[in-house]
Structure 1
Amino acid sequence: MVQGAKNYKNSDGYKPTTIPKALKVIKGHKEGITMESLNNQNRTMNTQAGSRLEKRIGSIFIHVSDMKSAVEWYSRVFDLPYNDDYMNGRLSTVYTLHFEGTEILLDSNHGAAPAPQPMMFFKTDDIRHTLQFLKDTGIVIHNEVLENNIVIFEDPDGNRLMAIQM
């Protein structure tokens, strides 16, 4: 430690620590470095060299053939309110479903065929209750693997989705 620093305490009792002298010459810093300056330098190097893509999903597109039917279905399954202007075709060809963390965009710009495998999964705290709800609502079920807490189902366009109890 730097001499004199070991006995220093500020008014709230915090005793600062210092970086050993050997680290002070890293990256050409003669006066000393801080963890903040090292982190900032690493961040700058990574963003300049990397893709600058964030490690989170902004939105997920689900292609639909009938916007009205898709909005009604997704709103009913996920208990979401919906905007009547979309139902009457007065707005965009994309409808936003607001979920925690990520948006799902229903896209009626046609052209994409449904995938044979689930595109994503949704968490549930009770897979049996979710399965019963899906059956009662008349939703097509493709696979019930209750011992693994998984149910695969499809939307009106045949897009496969999955529910998993975690």
Structure 2
Amino acid sequence: MANPVLNQIGTTFIPVSDIERARDWYCDILGLPADGEILFGHLYILPMNGTDIVLDSKIYSEERIYKAPPFHLNTNNIEEAYEYMKSKNVKITTNIEGNWFNFEDLDGNHLMICQC
């Protein structure tokens, strides 16, 4: 019997307290239009290249925010990405450590950008 579970990630969820505010913030830092529909009053699917990110205000609680990055966003130039995030007034939580750095979203979810 063939394995019915695929070795691929379909999406990752990020708990957010305010779905509209989170949508606008993530779309801004990712350079995406914030014109997509909020589904069921609590979900927003970020149109990513590759694995999707779903912002979800229904699963939000302070205990559920990410204390360590669950994934990283890619960049071709870590220094430019670092300066860009600083220019957006994003809370950066580490310096550039080789080819990566960490930051927080508006709810305190810890995320990472990595040069691959």
Identity %: 32
Paired residue type of 1:155 = D
CA deviation profile, 1:40-66 (whole Å, cap 9, x unmatched): xxxxx3x2xx4x111111111001001
Q: TM-score, with normalisation over the residues of structure 1? A: 0.63
How far residue 70 of structure 1 moved from its aligned partner, in angstroms, is 0.3
**What residue is the counterpart of 1:161 in the other structure?**
111
What is the match of residue 25 of structure 1? none
Structure (1/2) with the larger strand percentage: 2
* Cα offsets for 1:76-119 (capped at 9, x unmatched): 01001122654xxx853110001112111000102352122111
**What residue in structure 2 maps to residue 53 of structure 1?**
5
Q: Tell me the SS of whatever aligns to 1:152.
A: strand
Instruction: Kindly provide the amino acid, as one letter, of the partner of residue 23 in structure 2.
Output: V
- What SS class does the counterpart of residue 62 from structure 1 fall into? strand
Greater helix proportion? 1
Query: TM-score scaled to structure 2, two decimals?
Result: 0.89
- Say how many residue pairs are matched: 114
1:68 paired with 2:17, answer no
The higher relative CO (CA closer than 8 Å, separation ≥ 6) is in: 2
Q: Supply the AA of the counterpart residue of 2:9.
A: I
Looking at structure 2, the residues matched to 99 and 157 of structure 1 have their Cα atoms a distance apart, in angstroms, of 21
Q: Which amino acid aligns with 1:164?
A: C
Q: Structure 1 regions of 5+ residues with no counterpart?
A: 1-44
Query: Which protein has the larger Cα radius of gyration, Structure 1 or Structure 2?
Result: 1
Report how far residue 149 of structure 1 moved.
1.3
Give the Cα–Cα distance (whole angstroms) in 1 for the partners of residues 32 and 74 of structure 2: 16
CA distance in 2, matches of 1:96, 1:153: 21
The equivalent position to 2:87 in structure 1, one of 136, 160, 165, is: 136
CA contact (8 A) 1:121 1:164 kept: yes
The whole-number CA distance in structure 2 between the counterparts of 1:99 and 1:134 is 18
Deviating beyond 6 angstroms after TM superposition, the runs of 4 or more aligned structure 1 residues are: none
1:126 aligns with 2:77: yes
- Structure 2 unaligned segments of length 5 or more: list them: none
